[in-house]
Structure 1
Amino acid sequence: MFRNQPSRTASRDSSGFGFPWNKLGRLYKEDPSIFSKHPKELTDRLCEYKSYGFDNVTLIGICLSFPYVLSGECKLGGEIDALFDDLKKLCIHFDLIRCVEGNVDTWYEVCRKILVFYDMGCEKGMVGELMGRSKHIFVEYSEEILVQKMEFFCRLNVKKEEVGLLILRSPEILSFDLETPMISVLDFLKHFGFSMKKLKSIAQEYPHVMGRNKMANLPHVMRALDLHEWFFNELKGGNHHLLGDYVFSGADGALDRDFKDGLDRIHSSRTPLHTISKLNFMHGIGFGENNLTMKTLVHLHGTSSELQQRFDCLLRIGVDFSKLCRIITLSPKILNQNPRIIERKVKFLCQDMGSSLEYLDVFPAFLNFDLENRIKPRYRFHMWLSEKGWCTKNYSLASMIATSEKNFVGRIYGIHPAAPKQWFECFSYKKSSNGCVKRH
């Protein structure tokens, strides 16, 4: 069929299979090993697949999208059988073939859309029935739309497989505009059935999330409220239509006066685009159009992409999304540091100091202090005092680190008159000239 470099006879074979020349490059890029196979081996394999009931055009589209069915990397009876079981249900039993224009380009696009669901983790051999019942999505929506919608729900921090199944079970979601509409957070939650008592409690606990935001930011709004799991369960449970039915009415969504004043100041400043970009970052992680958002914004330094990297770093380390948003309102400057520095401080907190990430809920400013010149020497000095038996009181990390130098020295003098001399000579970063090194 095609072996090594395609010859003039490579576009057709004795069994009538014909792969378009303009698609062979894509197939070679996906799996070059196919072109080292003997033509008869490929022909026999294709004839075996054709026995499932597919015509040549459909089968070529399948092979272009799932090259491993030609390469033989997966044996029949395993993944390939599971794949063809799904495709047979979708294309033949549910008659998708009748809905698709019979050319290779169209079938390749259809199979690419099917591949999207497998890439999301949907198990081959288990979703053919669901795909068949929602077969219209493979004709009416582009691959880009499918990926876009799935990415929206994946931002709820749920399993990708669950997102794929949600789309297959509730395909009308694909018609919802999840980008441009505005939402009012409390109005949206009310639309989903929250009582006034519950709404009041949420407003008090999460003031930084209140106000208006874009529908595109809804997944992170829900994560900032710690309601993402509840929300996704509502969608899975049949209330997905509420997402499509929601209309921003302006109720409880009027622009916050203080927020508007802050917005006016931004637009009249020297760097409005830079500041608006940072504000959009904040909205993107769930902060609403409110005064607290503006107050927090003032303390954030760096570009929006740098702020996002630092935020993602803290998430990757293990800080809970909702807690991290609240921490930022208490100590915004934690986002003004290089991710590598943040990682080192958290590592020292958890491994050397024996604390946990939860301590950042109590003392988020820990991340604002210099690791080498403040955190390490003070902590190690207190450990030394305890080992000497001079300090019998357990001081909190905050009292060790956040205390001013003057008060710190006064405290350790009260613990032992000789302590300040030891601090300045062997622990403080203001090391004396006698060559005494810091304690490690």
Structure 2
Amino acid sequence: MKNNLQKLTTPLILKWGSSDYLFNNFRKVRFYATKNTAKAKLVEEKECDMPSAVRKDAQTALLEYLHSTRSLEFVDAEHMSKNSPLFLDKLLERIVDREADDIRRCVTRYLRYHPINEFEPFFESIGLKLCQYAAFLPRDVMYLSDDQRLLDSYRVLCNYGISRNKIGRIFAEAPQVFRYDPGVVELKLASFRGVGLDQSNVVKLVSANPHLLLGNVHVEFLRVVEKLKRMGVEYRWIEEQLNGKPINWSQLFELMCFLNGLGLTDERLGKLICQVPGLLFDFSGRPTFSLIGFCLKFGFEKTELLDVFLHLPQIPISAFIFNMRQCYQFLIEIEMPALEIRNILHSHPTLLGSCVLKKTTSLLTILHTGKKRLCSVIKENPEFLRNLVRGAKVERLPVAEEELRSKMMKTKFLSDLGFAEKSSEMKKALKVFRGKGVELQERFDCLVNAGLDRKHVASVLKIYPQILNQRKEVLEAKIDFLLNRLGFPVSTLVSFPSYLSYTIPRIRLRLSMYNWLRDQGKVDATLALSTIIASSEKLFMKVYVSPHPKGLEVWQNLKREIYPV
């Protein structure tokens, strides 16, 4: 099945046919009414204000020219003359005696000596705007009769019943259709009748979806329609889903075969597609492929994947997979173990695809809880995720029994040290402390065992309670470094308790640099330990390191030695 997935997840890019002819033969041409694009748009938006009698005479003259002089079929010439008002207006601008009584004669005379580029009124008459067709005007060809393939395809489409003013859309979206050999367009249109579509339906289909006439797209379309009909899906419903958007029909067929392979019968699949049209028709099924790949990544079996599709909620499939990925990301952010995430994905895929969660940081703040507790709550009851969606009022989690017991132990610990109950000092310490009450007592004992008096430790904690947030082993290592490596007495911790807040590498670097500068006679030999360690790096560099010519070099060498890459 995974091999089939690799085959399915090729880029869903509609492969258009060759357009070499268009790029080689159609160029913007300079003829008597040439204007740049900006001016062309202004002309296009300008209303034709010529009197109706003048317009009618001009149309008649143009009709006679196209039919009698240029030998275009009468219906083609008539349509062009009556449906190219902008061209007519520009044509009249070229006639000096516009106010003449016989406009028809003036236009006829003008056209006799000034042949026009027939592609311009042709393109305008089929519904294209100047800004759309300007790039397609041929460079060296003026007469429609010189492009027989264009005329043949145009007449085939007209004779089939496609409105002339809608053929412009076909030209704009599928210009290759007008480069086909004679008879090709007829065969493509006739092929749609093979699945039971009558001519009126084919006309509507092709007018709204010109890409169906490109290459073998019509063959792939017919294959999909036949399969959908076997599933009990009516063509009228299929037509409603198209809405003129290009679709990779080959990809859709592969997707339906894949879903059949999961165990869905044609009848069940037909009902599912009608319930969730986006399963097939949203971006040619790309979100569905994404969902399949996401589930397979977490080891879903066929039966589990089938269950996901049978229980899809009434939301767009793209929204479903987006929500699923967002929920997965949320579980990652709260540091849930990978195995637990996998279990929730397997047991509650529909739930994850239905929930639009708030941001993780916001939820942790509102719930007033930590990641570990939230993981535990979701693990016990995944449905709890429904309470965390956007728009829902999120309630603060009730205090857990273990958390309540830990808080009581912390309060007792602080009371024993002399903190007044409910005082600002106690509130500050409770907010800052991390860990359990038992752990705080162990860390406190570590400081006392190092030789400090209990009263001194208690007074220090009122100012710097955060020093007890470090593990017992870390505190012991820092005290040992102070006493045995640096040679300072333990009483230093009373005057400089924040020493315990800094890392050993920082302390080593600062003191090593200070000792070198002291040996060079560049610093005061009686500097306090707090001045050396607690000052910011920027200040330390400016005051002590940079003034010495070799200071920066020694500093970098010490850094590489103490902080190896």
Rg larger in 1 or in 2? 2
TM-score, length basis structure 1: 0.34
TM-score, length basis structure 2: 0.28
